[in-house]
């Protein structure tokens, strides 16, 4: 009986040691990447669809770990599903043109309340609960995102469509973010812009993330979405694309639908000086760590060449 007990204890100890060795190998593999990104800015777009069950603990942990390893993360979030739910609850009708929400005066008040209020603070609280120090703001704070009204041309050739208080970034004020980052805080940005007359504009979160990454000349723009990345005609993941290749895949129809604006955002960011833009499946636990701190990465990366 004593010998059996000793064997069981030895087996357990061997399993524990094997787990420790595995952990050590992961840390050693991550070290070159930790050094590579030390002191660099990485902008992460966190979609509203990813938050329908609340802020992911894995996402919050990844953001905190990025900060603790010397990276300066900047989070930009969306909130389309949550806005839609609140408008429905308040009996405010919603209409869409080419997938874009028409935002009238009543709707923009709800949009700002949901984005800059509840969603923004949920993400801030989630990051803080994971051990970080996050601060929430919208594009209106410090004139971070100066916006203009979006001139949208109908997809069916019907001319320009008035989307109401839907805007696009005209100018980003990066000093606001640099001040926050210098204070060792993590900025969490709601995609609300301010017009020259103080108007409030609802802006696509991908677009804001791209504009912010360009203004900060970030090392990476990471767009978390609900697909694996860019797929070829056989449905296989394309791990790397140049700006030219990405445009060609849009032209020949390989990239279509909702992926087109994401690719256009990524391409524009790279052209503004961002080293690379990456489209990742945000449903994968700790996907940010897989992308940043492993050799193989996890999604589709778009670079200048």
Residue 21 lies in a domain: no
How many domains does the chain fold into?
A: 1
The mean pLDDT value for 64-89 works out to 93
pLDDT of residue 116: 94
Q: Which of 175-189, 229-243, 280-294 has the highest mean pLDDT?
A: 175-189
Residue numbers of the domain that contains 182: 39-303
Q: Which of 102, 109, 108, 44 is nearest to 76 (CA)?
A: 44
Q: What are phi and psi of 18, to 5 degrees?
A: -65, -40
Residue 196 in this model has a pLDDT that exceeds 70: yes
Q: What is the 3-state secondary structure (H, E, C) of 91-144?
A: CCCCCEECCEECECHHHHHHHHHHHHHHHHHHHHHHHHHCCCCEEEEECCHHHC
- How many other CB atoms sit within 10 Å of the CB of residue 81? 15
Q: Which of 100-104, 169-173, 285-289 has the highest mean pLDDT?
A: 169-173
The mean pLDDT value for 187-208 works out to 96
CATH number at residue 113: 3.40.1160.10
pTM over 0.75: yes
Residue 48 lies in a domain: yes
Residue 3 lies in a domain: no
Residue 25 in this model has a pLDDT that exceeds 80: no
Residue 252 lies in a domain: yes
Residue 7 lies in a domain: no
Digit-coded pLDDT (tens) for 262-278: 999 999 999 999 999 99
Digit-coded pLDDT (tens) for 29-73: 777 778 888 899 999 999 867 776 677 899 999 999 999 999 999
Residue 51 lies in a domain: yes
Residue 26 lies in a domain: no
């Amino acid at each position: 009986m004593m010998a059996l007990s000793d064997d069981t204890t030895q087996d357990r100890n061997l399993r524990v040691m094997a787990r420790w060795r595995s952990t050590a190998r992961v840390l050693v593999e991550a070290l070159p990447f930790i050094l590579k990104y030390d002191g660099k800015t990485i902008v992460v777009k966190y979609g509203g669809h990813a938050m329908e069950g609340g802020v992911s603990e894995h996402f919050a942990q990844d953001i905190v770990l990025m900060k603790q390893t010397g990276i300066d993360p900047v989070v930009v979030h969306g909130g389309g599903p949550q806005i839609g739910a609140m408008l429905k609850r308040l009996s405010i009708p919603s209409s869409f043109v080419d997938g874009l929400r028409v935002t009238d005066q009543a709707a923009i008040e709800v949009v700002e309340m949901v984005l800059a209020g509840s969603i923004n603070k949920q993400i801030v609280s989630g990051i803080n609960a994971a051990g970080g120090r996050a601060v929430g703001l919208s594009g209106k704070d410090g004139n971070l995102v100066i916006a203009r009204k979006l001139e949208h041309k109908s997809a069916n050739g019907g001319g320009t469509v008035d989307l109401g208080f839907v805007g696009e970034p005209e100018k980003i004020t990066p000093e606001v973010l640099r001040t926050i980052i210098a204070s060792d805080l993590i900025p969490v940005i709601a995609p609300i812009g301010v017009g020259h007359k103080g108007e409030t504009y609802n802006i696509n979160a991908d677009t804001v993330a791209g504009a912010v990454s360009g203004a900060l000349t970030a090392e990476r723009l990471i767009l978390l979405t609900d697909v694996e990345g860019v797929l070829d005609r056989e449905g296989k993941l394309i791990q790397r694309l140049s700006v030219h290749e990405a445009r060609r895949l849009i032209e020949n129809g390989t990239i279509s639908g909702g992926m087109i604006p994401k690719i256009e955002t990524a391409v524009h960011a790279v052209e503004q000086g961002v080293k690379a833009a990456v489209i990742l499946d945000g449903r994968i636990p700790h996907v940010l760590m897989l992308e940043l701190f492993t050799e193989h990465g996890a999604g589709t990366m778009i670079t200048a060449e």
